[in-house]
Chains A and B, each alone.
Chain A
Amino acid sequence: MWSTAPTIAAGDLVIVWLTRDLLQPLLITPGKDFNSRFGNYRHNDFIGVPYGSKVGAPTGKGFIHLLRPTPELWTMALPHRTQILYLADIAFITSQLNIRRGSRVIEAGTGSASFSHSVIRSVGSAGHLWSYEFHEARAAKARDEFTRHGMLDIVTLTHRNVCKDGFTVIDTADSLFLDIPAPWDAIEHAKKALRKDCITRICCFSPCMEQVLRTVSALNDAGFTDITMYETLLRPHDVSQIPPLPSIDDAADKLKRAEARREEKRLKQIAQGQRTKRKRDGDSVDPDELDLKRAKTDKVTEEISVQVDEIAQDLAAPNTNNRFSVSKVMSEVRGHTSYLTFACLLPDISLISAPRA
C-alpha cells in the first residue's frame, strides 16, 4: 500500500495538487524533473519533504502541494481508461454492500480501478478483492498499477469476461459489484461466487433504466431478495461573502430623488423654453421640439440614477464586517452517474437447519 511515513521518500507515489481541477500522480524518481505550468522542479528536492507540504518552484514563481495518495485523491488524479466511479457512488456502494475490514469482495469490470482502490483501502490486509476485466490492455494496465501501488496481497486481477466464463471463486464473496454493460448475464455466476452461510449482497451499476429493469428481473429470477434501487450525487456548493442586501427603502429613496431631479429639470426646461418662446415673438411650440426635449430629460434621469447607484455601493463597501456567507449549488453539476441496484442473497436454509445454540 502507499507510504504511511511522515516524509516523502524515493519510490513513493505522491499526488501533486496543481489546482482543484488538476491533480497528478507522481512516482518520486531521483534524477527526474517535474515540469508544469506552475514551475519546474527536481524530484530530488521532494525527498525528505513532509507529506502535505506546499513547495515553491526553484525560480520563486509558482508552487505545488505534495499530498499523500488516498483512494479519493487517486480518483481525482488517475489516468482514465474508462468512465470512472466518483466519491458519492463509491461511498454509498461501500456502505450498502457492508464493505469493511476483512470483507471479501468481487468486482467486474476493473475499468480505471477507481472503485478498486477504495475497496482495497476499506477491506485492508485482512480482506480481499477479486477484480475482473474483460479488456486485455486495460487489465494489463490495472495489474501494473496494483503492482506499483503494492496492493497485490489484497487484490487478485483476472483478465476474463465474467458474463461468459463466470468468476474464479465459489462460495467466497461477502459482496459483489457489477459495473458491466449487461449485468443480467453475470447474475447466475455471481450467485455461485457468493458465500452461502450468511446474508450476502450485490450491486449492479448501470446508467440506463432499461438496463436496471433487465437486471432486476434477472436478480429476481435468481432468487435475490430485498431489491432496492438508488441514485446518489454530490452537490458542490459555491460559497461567497456578500454585503447586506440593499433594502427597497433605498430603492424608493433613489427613485424619489431621481423624480425630484427630473421635475426640477423639467421646470428649468419649461422656464428656458418660455424664455426662448418669448424671444421668438410668441409663436406656438413645435411638438417635435418637445419630444426631443423629453428624450434629453430621460437621458439625464438615467445618468442621475447611475450616480446614485455608485453612491449606494460606496457606502456599503467599507462595512466588510457586515458581509455574510451565502452559498448556492454550482451552476453546472453532475446530474446523473448511474442507477445503483442492490439486492441480498439469503443463506441456504438447509445449511442452517442444524441444531441451534
Chain B
Amino acid sequence: MSNNEVSSSSVTHRLPTIQSGYNVLLRLPNGDIRGVKVDKDATITVGRLGSFFANELIGVPYGFTHEIVDKNLKIMPPRTLQEVEDTDATNELINDGESVQPLTIDEITALKQSGVHSSDIINKQIEAHANYSLKTEYSKEKYKKRKEAKYSKTFTTIEPTLFNVCDYWFNKDQTRIRDIRADTLSQILNLANVRPGGRYIAVDDASGLVICGILSRMGGEGRLITICDTDSPPAYPVMVQMNFDPKSVNGVLSSLNWATAQEDYTPVLPPSDVPAEDMKSERQKARLKKRKLVTDALASTREELFAGEFDGLIVASEYDPWPIVQKLTPYISGSASIVVQSPYGQILDDLQNKMRAVPSFLCPTVTEGWLRRYQVLPGRTHPTMMTSGTGGFLLHAIKVYDDPEASAVETHRSHRNKKAKMGQPQVVIEKESTLLDSEMAVE
C-alpha cells in the first residue's frame, strides 16, 4: 500500500481515499453516474466532459466535486443549498413555444471551442434571453441549473459504500439486482444478523449485490459460503464497484455449486495425486500442485458446509426458493435466521404457505419495503414526483428445533390437540395458540 498512514490508522478495509486500480463512480452535472477505472498514469475520458489525468484522483478522499481544467482537476468548494427570494413574478406573461433564445447553437459551439468557462456561456445566454427577467426566482434557478448540467465540466466522486453501489445498480438496471433496493438490502442484512465474525450461507443470483452486502458488513472477519449454478463462481459485476481489499474477501468467501453442495455426490475431478516418478516437467508439477489446491479447497468447503451450524441463510435466487430452503436449512443452527428475497410477492406467498406447515420454521413472515424520498430545498420540500415502485419482497423466518411432544395451551382445532384430555377446563386463547403453532393467523 502506498499510503501507509491511512492503512495503519484505519481498521476499515477499504481506504477512505481513491487508490490506483479502483473503480470509481462519478456523478456528472446532469445527475448521470458513470463508473471509471483509475489506473496510475492513465488518462480518463468521461464523455462530453473530456479527459483528465488519473493521478489527479489518486490519494484524494471521496465526495469532492472536481472541475476539469486542461486535463488537471480543481477541487470545487462544497456547495450548500441557496435560499431563494420569493418575488411577485409568475408565468402569467410567459408563453410556451416562443423563441426566446437568440444565441444559436453555432454561436454556443464557437464559445465552447474558444475555451470560455461554462459560467460565462450561461451568463451570455441569460443576457440574450428575452423573458429571463419575467421568470420567478425558482424558475431562474432551475434554468441556471439546467444550463450548468449542460455546459459545466465538473463531476463528483461517490464513495463506494454499500448504499451508494446498490443505489447505482438499482438506477442503472434494477432487474439485474432482482429489484433489491437499498432499504431492502439493509433489511436483509439486519434480519439475517450479518456481523463481523458470523458464518453465513448465501445464494445470490442478483449480480453479487447480496454477497457484497454480506462481505461489506463482515469486514473481512467470518465465513461466507455461496452456492451458484455454474461450474465455478461467476465474476459478480457488483463487486467491481465495491473495491474490496482482496484480503477481506479471499479468507472469507468460498463457493460451491448445486452439484458439489450435494452430500451424496462425489465431484468428478482430474487426479491430483500423481506418483513423483511420473512427473515429467516442472510445468506439470506446478499444474498438479495447483490442481491439488483446488481439489483440497473444494473438499474442505464441502466438509464445512455439511458440518453445518451456520448463523444464517440468505437467498436471492431465480430458482424455486422452497427446495433451496429445504436443502440448506439443515446446515444452519437453531435460532438462525432465514431470509429469502424475491421481486414477486406471490413466490414468497407460496413459500410462506409451505414453510408454515413445517414446525422447524418459526413465524415465516412476508414483508415489503416502502421508501419515499423527498426533495429538500428551502421553501420547496415535497416527496419526489417520480419514485421507485418496488424494492422487492422479503420472507423472514427463524429456524427452530421442534418438540412434537409439546402441545399448545389450548387449540380450537381438535385434530391438532392430540394431547388434550377430556374434561380439561376450557381456557380459550384461540389466537395465541394458533400463533404458537408458528402459524400466521388466517382470519
Binding site for B on A (CB under 8 A): 6, 17-22, 37-39, 50-57, 60-63, 65-68, 70-72, 87-88, 90-92, 94-96, 98, 100-103, 118, 121-122, 124-127, 197-199, 209, 212-213, 216-217, 220-221, 223-241, 325-327, 329, 339, 341, 344, 346-347, 349, 352, 356-357
Chain B window 190-222, contacts with chain A (Cβ cutoff 8 Å), 1 for yes, 0 for no: 110101110000000000000000001111110
Looking across the interface, which residue of chain A has its beta carbon closest to that of B220?
Answer: A101
Contact B409 A235 (CB under 8 A): no
The segment out of B84-92, B128-136, B333-341 that lies at the interface is: B333-341
The segment out of B74-82, B139-147, B279-287 that lies at the interface is: B74-82
Contact A356 B60 (CB under 8 A): yes
User: Is B403 engaged at the interface, CB distance under 8 Å to the other chain?
Assistant: yes
Q: Cβ of B20: which chain A residues have Cβ within 8 Å of it?
A: 357
Contact B349 A227 (CB under 8 A): no
Besides A95-B163, A237-B365, 17 new A-B residue pairs in contact (Cβ under 8 A), listed by A number: A21-B435, A52-B334, A60-B405, A61-B409, A63-B403, A88-B369, A91-B186, A94-B186, A101-B217, A102-B219, A124-B221, A197-B16, A216-B378, A230-B371, A231-B371, A240-B442, A339-B374
User: Is B63 engaged at the interface, CB distance under 8 Å to the other chain?
Assistant: yes
Q: Cβ of A70: which chain B residues have Cβ within 8 Å of it?
A: 193, 337
Contact B195 A352 (CB under 8 A): no
With A56-B405, A94-B186: A236-B56 Cβ-Cβ less than 8 Å: no
Contact A228 B376 (CB under 8 A): yes
Q: How far is the CA of A212 from the CA of B374 in the complex (A)?
A: 11
Looking across the interface, which residue of chain A has its beta carbon closest to that of B182?
Answer: A95
Q: How far is the CA of A102 from the CA of B14 in the complex (A)?
A: 11
With A37-B432, A52-B398, A225-B79: A341-B376 Cβ-Cβ less than 8 Å: yes
Q: How far is the CA of A118 from the CA of B406 in the complex (A)?
A: 33
Contact A124 B195 (CB under 8 A): yes
User: Is B3 engaged at the interface, CB distance under 8 Å to the other chain?
Assistant: yes
| Contacts between the two chains (Cβ within 8 Å), count | 284
Minimum CB–CB distance from A202 to chain B (whole Å) comes to: 13
Identify A325's interface contact among B191, B218, B353, B401, CB under 8 A: B353
With A56-B406, A100-B217, A124-B196: A91-B56 Cβ-Cβ less than 8 Å: no
Identify B183's interface contact among A92, A199, A213, A356, CB under 8 A: A92
Contact A238 B440 (CB under 8 A): yes
User: Is B262 engaged at the interface, CB distance under 8 Å to the other chain?
Assistant: no
Minimum CB–CB distance from B182 to chain A (whole Å) comes to: 6
Q: Cβ of B359: which chain A residues have Cβ within 8 Å of it?
A: 54
Contact B407 A126 (CB under 8 A): no
Identify B368's interface contact among A52, A55, A235, CB under 8 A: A235
Contact A98 B159 (CB under 8 A): yes
Q: How far is the CA of A222 from the CA of B198 in the complex (A)?
A: 39
Q: How far is the CA of A243 from the CA of B378 in the complex (A)?
A: 54
Q: Cβ of B220: which chain A residues have Cβ within 8 Å of it?
A: 101
Closest 10 CB pairs of A and B: A52-B334, A101-B219, A56-B406, A52-B335, A198-B16, A124-B196, A91-B186, A357-B59, A102-B11, A63-B406
Which interface residue of B80, B334, B350 has the most chain A CB atoms within 10 A?
Answer: B334
User: Is B162 engaged at the interface, CB distance under 8 Å to the other chain?
Assistant: yes
Q: How far is the CA of A98 from the CA of B409 in the complex (A)?
A: 45
User: Is B245 engaged at the interface, CB distance under 8 Å to the other chain?
Assistant: no
Minimum CB–CB distance from A18 to chain B (whole Å) comes to: 8
Minimum CB–CB distance from B425 to chain A (whole Å) comes to: 11
Q: Cβ of B407: which chain A residues have Cβ within 8 Å of it?
A: 56, 60-63
Binding site for A on B (CB under 8 A): 2-3, 10-13, 16-17, 19-20, 55-56, 58-64, 75, 77-81, 159, 161-163, 166, 182-183, 185-187, 189-191, 193, 195-197, 216-221, 309, 333-337, 345-346, 349-350, 352-353, 359, 362-363, 365-374, 376, 378, 381, 393, 398-403, 405-410, 419, 424, 429, 432, 435-436, 440, 442
Minimum CB–CB distance from B428 to chain A (whole Å) comes to: 12
Identify B365's interface contact among A19, A220, A236, CB under 8 A: A236
Q: Cβ of A60: which chain B residues have Cβ within 8 Å of it?
A: 405, 407, 419
Q: How far is the CA of A220 from the CA of B84 in the complex (A)?
A: 14
With A228-B373, A229-B373: A235-B367 Cβ-Cβ less than 8 Å: yes
Minimum CB–CB distance from A221 to chain B (whole Å) comes to: 8
Contact B372 A87 (CB under 8 A): no
Q: How far is the CA of A37 from the CA of B432 in the complex (A)?
A: 10
Looking across the interface, which residue of chain B has its beta carbon closest to that of A353?
Answer: B75
Q: Cβ of A356: which chain B residues have Cβ within 8 Å of it?
A: 55-56, 58-60
With A20-B435, A94-B190, A239-B353: A65-B400 Cβ-Cβ less than 8 Å: yes
Q: Cβ of B162: which chain A residues have Cβ within 8 Å of it?
A: 95, 98, 100
Q: How far is the CA of A18 from the CA of B349 in the complex (A)?
A: 24
Looking across the interface, which residue of chain A has its beta carbon closest to that of B40?
Answer: A357
Contact A71 B193 (CB under 8 A): yes
Q: Cβ of B166: which chain A residues have Cβ within 8 Å of it?
A: 95
Q: Cβ of A229: which chain B residues have Cβ within 8 Å of it?
A: 373-374, 376, 381
Q: Cβ of A52: which chain B residues have Cβ within 8 Å of it?
A: 333-336, 398-401
Contact A67 B196 (CB under 8 A): no
Q: Cβ of B369: which chain A residues have Cβ within 8 Å of it?
A: 88, 232-235
Identify B81's interface contact among A124, A199, A227, CB under 8 A: A227
Contact B366 A346 (CB under 8 A): no
Contact B218 A101 (CB under 8 A): yes
Looking across the interface, which residue of chain A has its beta carbon closest to that of B194?
Answer: A122
Minimum CB–CB distance from A216 to chain B (whole Å) comes to: 5
User: Can you name 9 A-B pairs with beta carbons within 8 Å?
Assistant: A6-B333, A39-B409, A54-B406, A62-B407, A67-B335, A96-B163, A126-B219, A228-B376, A356-B55
With A63-B406, A127-B11, A228-B376: A100-B182 Cβ-Cβ less than 8 Å: no
Contact B440 A239 (CB under 8 A): yes
Contact A352 B60 (CB under 8 A): yes
Minimum CB–CB distance from B296 to chain A (whole Å) comes to: 27
Q: Cβ of A124: which chain B residues have Cβ within 8 Å of it?
A: 195-197, 219, 221
Looking across the interface, which residue of chain A has its beta carbon closest to that of B363?
Answer: A20
Minimum CB–CB distance from A318 to chain B (whole Å) comes to: 17
Q: Cβ of A39: which chain B residues have Cβ within 8 Å of it?
A: 409
Contact B400 A92 (CB under 8 A): no
Identify B436's interface contact among A19, A72, A235, CB under 8 A: A19
Q: Cβ of B183: which chain A residues have Cβ within 8 Å of it?
A: 88, 91-92, 95, 232
Identify B216's interface contact among A100, A231, A238, CB under 8 A: A100
